[in-house]
Structure 1
Amino acid sequence: MSTITIAQHSAHPLTVNRLGYGTMRLTGPEIWGEPADRPQALAILKKAVESGVNFLDTADYYGEDVTNRLIAEALHPYPADLVICTKVGATRRPDKSWVSFNPPENLRTSIDNNLRTLKREQIQLVHLRLMGHGAVPLEEQLGAMFELQREGKILHVGLSNVNRAELEAGLKLGEIATVENMYGYAQRTSLSAPYGETRGGEEVLPLCEQHGIPLIPFFSLVHGLPNAGNKLAEIARKHHATEAQLNIAWLLHKSPWILPIPGTSSLAHLEENLKAADIKLSAEDMAYLG
């Protein structure tokens, strides 16, 4: 795999292999509760790291706390080069709904919970997920994150689910290490979700490239573009690959500043996803895909 550097201009840059793993699908139905096959969930985490994945994406509101506890059980004590990224700014209700959890005191509670469940003294990268138009201004949310960073609980601060204006505002407030937005070949722009608008990656990618900020996409194979599925399937057949693999390959070829984190609850699908890093798309392939 190629590599990418997070916070390249900081005193503590993090260089990781350019295909990570998103843990969200390791939970039960509706991103809630324990996995249906716990031994396989633990095996997936171990296999990912053994295969060269050294960037994991998680959140304490996956489960709740399920993915964090699985990561710690499978991998602690952690390899020296493993980067674990979590998210704060949201929480889950008992009815499984998603709600904002972004006042400064709540962000601190979330960070402390992540530190406890991940068994870490410092979290290397934390994304502040923006949840709709809450009452807490971005300046207060990010101010709390930067205060936790000064205290040493966070090494680097990122943003998640942001549009271009919000990213520009964040960059004026401090160093933004990464951006995590929904992004995939066929789903590039914002869409409505049960917990508010989900922001796409297309509008923030140029700004990320300009500032050397990795864009971490949680991708979707929703056919949101005209004829997207037909083209993706055609190029997939050409490369003897699946459409999911082509989606990952397209992200890797789209920009060197993209760090895909495809997730799965299947060991077989994990191995398929990892093979996507070996697919070489030509300039003609990329032009045809658009």
Structure 2
Amino acid sequence: MSTITIAPNSAHPLTVSRLGYGTMRLTGPEIWGEPANRPEALQILRTAVEAGVTFLDTADYYGQDVTNRLIREALFPYPSNLVICTKVGATRRSDKSWVPFNRPEQLRQSIENNLRTLGQEQIQLVHLRLMGPGPVPLDEQLGAMFELQREGKILHVGLSNVTRAELEAGLRLGPIATVENMYSYAQRTTVRLPHGANPGGEEVLDLCEQHQLPLIPFFSLVHALPKALDKIAEVARQHNATPAQINIAWLLHRSPWLLPIPGTSSLAHLRENLAAAVIQLSPADMAYLG
């Protein structure tokens, strides 16, 4: 499996597999509670790592600590080359709503909770998830993150769910290592969801390339735009693959700075996603897809 390097010009670069695994779907319905099949969830994590995946994406608000606990149960003590990336800046209420949790003391609380549930002394990469305009300015949120970095609790700081203007502002405030935004072949720009807007990856990709920031697409399986689906289905037929596999392959071919993290709660689908890493799309395929 090919690799990508996070913070390549820093004192502590991290080289990881170019195809990661996002753990969000390991939780129960609505990203809440325990998985329906806990043994399969644990086996998915073990199989991913055995297959060469060295980048896992999680958050303590996935199921309320569920994915962190699954990761620890399945993989601790962690392989030396495994990078576990988590997110802070949000939390879930008992009604399952998503709300900001981004005051400096809340960010510190989240980091301490992630360290405890993952069983780590330092988290190698933490994304600050932005939840739209609010009472806590970006410089105050990032200031708290950089303070935690200076204390050694975080190695690298990234941004998630950012607009182009927010990424530009973040880059002026300090060393940003990665960006995590919604991005797929069929969904490239801002999406309005019930819990807020999700800026698209296409809006920041050129900035990420310019600053050598891996862009980590989330929620990247095809789910919209019928005309786009027709094209991706045709390419899938030509490669004897599924549309989801071609979506992953398209991301891998779109830019060397993309690090997809397709998630699934099915061991069979995990194996299909991993197989997408070896699909070779031709220049003609990419031109047809657009």
Compute the TM-score of the two structures, normalised by the length of structure 2. Answer: 0.99
1:247 aligned residue: 247
Identity of aligned pairs, percent?
78
1:51 aligned residue: 51
Report the residue type matching 1:100 in the other structure: P
1:96 aligned residue: 96
Structure 2: stretches of 5+ with no match in the other structure: none
1:106 aligned residue: 106
Alignment length (residue pairs): 289
Q: How big is the shift at 1:246?
A: 0.3
CA deviations over 1:134-191 (Å, ceiling 9, x no partner): 1100000000000000000000000000011100000000110000000000000011
Tell me if the contact between 1:186 and 1:229 (Cα under 8 Å) persists in the aligned partners: yes
* SS of 1:187 mapped into structure 2: coil
2:36 aligned residue: 36
Question: How far apart are the structure 1 equivalents of 2:17 and 2:23?
Answer: 17
Report the residue type matching 2:260 in the other structure: P
Tell me if the contact between 2:88 and 2:111 (Cα under 8 Å) persists in the aligned partners: yes
Report the residue type matching 2:144 in the other structure: A
Tell me if the contact between 1:187 and 1:220 (Cα under 8 Å) persists in the aligned partners: no
Question: How far apart are the structure 2 equivalents of 1:144 and 1:207?
Answer: 24
2:148 aligned residue: 148
Report the residue type matching 1:221 in the other structure: V
1:273 aligned residue: 273
Tell me if the contact between 1:121 and 1:153 (Cα under 8 Å) persists in the aligned partners: yes
Tell me if the contact between 1:127 and 1:159 (Cα under 8 Å) persists in the aligned partners: yes
Q: How big is the shift at 1:132?
A: 1.4
Q: Is 1:220 the equivalent of 2:221?
A: yes
Report the residue type matching 1:73 in the other structure: E
2:9 aligned residue: 9
Q: How big is the shift at 1:223?
A: 1.8
1:203 aligned residue: 203
Compute the TM-score of the two structures, normalised by the length of structure 1. Answer: 0.99
1:73 aligned residue: 73
Structure 1: stretches of 5+ with no match in the other structure: none
Question: How far apart are the structure 2 equivalents of 1:59 and 1:195?
Answer: 17
Report the residue type matching 2:242 in the other structure: T
Q: How big is the shift at 1:194?
A: 2.0
Question: How far apart are the structure 1 equivalents of 2:136 and 2:88?
Answer: 14
Q: How big is the shift at 1:221?
A: 1.1
* SS of 1:33 mapped into structure 2: coil
Q: Is 1:287 the equivalent of 2:273?
A: no
Tell me if the contact between 1:182 and 1:220 (Cα under 8 Å) persists in the aligned partners: no
1:183-202 to 2 correspondences below 5 Å: 183-202=183-202
RMSD over aligned Cα atoms: 0.6
CA deviations over 1:37-95 (Å, ceiling 9, x no partner): 00000000000000000000000000000000000000000000000000000000000
* SS of 2:59 mapped into structure 1: coil
Question: How far apart are the structure 1 equivalents of 2:202 and 2:191?
Answer: 12
